[in-house]
Amino acid sequence: MTNKTLSQQVQWGKLTLLLDHEEFRKGYSWGRRYYFEDINHEYPERARTMTALEAAQVIVVGTDSDQPHFDAEELAHPIETVGVFLGYMSGALIPETAEERQARLKEEAAMLARAEVIPIS
C-alpha cells in the first residue's frame, strides 16, 4: 500500500483515525500488509481467532520467554510501531483493497523470483 493509495483517514467504528503522521502512516501500511500476508499464508487462522500473545507478537519479541520486549527497531521508532500494530489489527475490520492486494502480490512474486535465482559459484 502506498501513501497515494492509503486514505488519509480510516473509519474505526465511531472513530475517525487521521493518518496525519508520516511514520505512523508508514507503520499502518506495513501492518496491514503483514496481516494479509499472514492470513493468506502462514497463519490463516488469524482471520478468525487470535490470542493475546499472537497480537502482542506483531510488535513484541520474546513472547515465548519470561522476558518479552521491544527490539531495537521498535524502540527507535515508537510511532511507526504503534502504526504497525493498529494497521495489523485493522486487517480484521477493514477488508484489503484491490490496490493493496495487487501491491502485495506483486511484491511477493518479485521476492519469489529473487529467491529462485541462486547463483552457482
Q: What is the pTM of this model?
A: 0.83
Residue 120: predicted pLDDT: 67
Residue 55: predicted pLDDT: 93
Backbone angles phi, psi at 9, to 5 degrees: -150, 155
pLDDT < 50 regions, the chain: 1-5
**DSSP H helical ranges for 44-97:** 52-56, 72-76, 78-90
Residue 62: predicted pLDDT: 86
Residue 119: predicted pLDDT: 65
Cell numbers standing for residue 66: 519470561
Residue 27: predicted pLDDT: 96
